[in-house]
């Protein structure tokens, strides 16, 4: 008979970081593409883990300051009737102006990215611009471009800005439909660091 208060043992084994890396390597054979994706550090395994496998913020102290830019995009997909209604009403909903509110929310999110993503460095963004327009009759494309002069990149800031702006559009319009979809959040461009990204592709 099972004793009261006894805990059921987990069927999932606990694996060290080294074992996880070994297992992942068996599924994804080592190569240049996988090395870029995993960003494996020879000393600690991953850049956000120290020698004791404790989480850490990456040390960028020795890096040179450079002009960094990043552009990210999110798509908000509306049901056709909702898209037509929004266009007819000048992109205004009962809560107010949809696009202006989304841009304000996205800009606030860019400035607070380090409070949302644990290991992002606090950055004093020097420029934050949004482009919001319909890419198709039913899809609103939101692009967020962020720039800073720093030792680390701003791709997370751009991604966060685009995402929060898209979520704000959803919130502003959800009274019209709960079938609105936020999709295809991705990095479009990145410059100023080791890796250059254009059109969502890493340049060699």
Q: Which residues are designated catalytic?
A: 171
Both tokens of 75, joined, read 């798509």
Three-state secondary structure of the chain = CCCCCCCCCCCCCCCCHHHHHHHHHHHCCCCHHHHHHHCEECCCEECCECCCCCECCCCCCCCCCEEEEEEEEEEEECCHHHHHHHHHCCCEECCEEHHHHHHHHHHHHHHCHHHHCCCCCCCCCCEEEEEEEEEECCEEEEEEEEEEEECCCCHHHHHHHHHHHHHHHHHHHCCCCCCCEEEEEEEEEEECCCCEEECCEEEC
3-state secondary structure string across 91-124 = CEECCEEHHHHHHHHHHHHHHCHHHHCCCCCCCC
């Amino acid at each position: 008979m099972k004793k009261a208060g006894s805990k059921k043992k987990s069927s999932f084994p606990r694996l060290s970081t080294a074992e996880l890396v070994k297992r992942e390597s068996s599924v994804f054979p080592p190569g240049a593409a996988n090395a870029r994706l995993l960003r494996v550090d020879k000393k600690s395994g991953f850049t956000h883990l120290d020698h004791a496998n404790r989480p850490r913020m990456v040390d960028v102290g020795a890096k040179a300051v450079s002009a960094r830019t990043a552009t990210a995009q999110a798509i908000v997909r509306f049901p056709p009737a909702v898209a037509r209604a929004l266009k007819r009403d000048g992109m205004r909903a009962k809560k107010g102006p949809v696009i202006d509110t989304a841009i304000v929310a996205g800009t606030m999110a860019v400035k607070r990215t380090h409070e949302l993503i644990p290991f992002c460095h606090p950055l004093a963004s020097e420029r934050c611009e949004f482009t919001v327009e319909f890419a198709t009759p039913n899809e609103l494309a939101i692009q967020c471009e962020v720039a800073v002069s720093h030792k680390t990149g701003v791709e997370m800031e751009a991604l966060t800005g685009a995402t929060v702006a898209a979520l704000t559009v959803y919130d502003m319009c959800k009274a019209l439909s709960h079938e609105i979809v936020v999709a295809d959040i991705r990095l479009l461009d990145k410059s100023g660091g080791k890796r250059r990204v254009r059109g969502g592709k890493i340049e060699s």
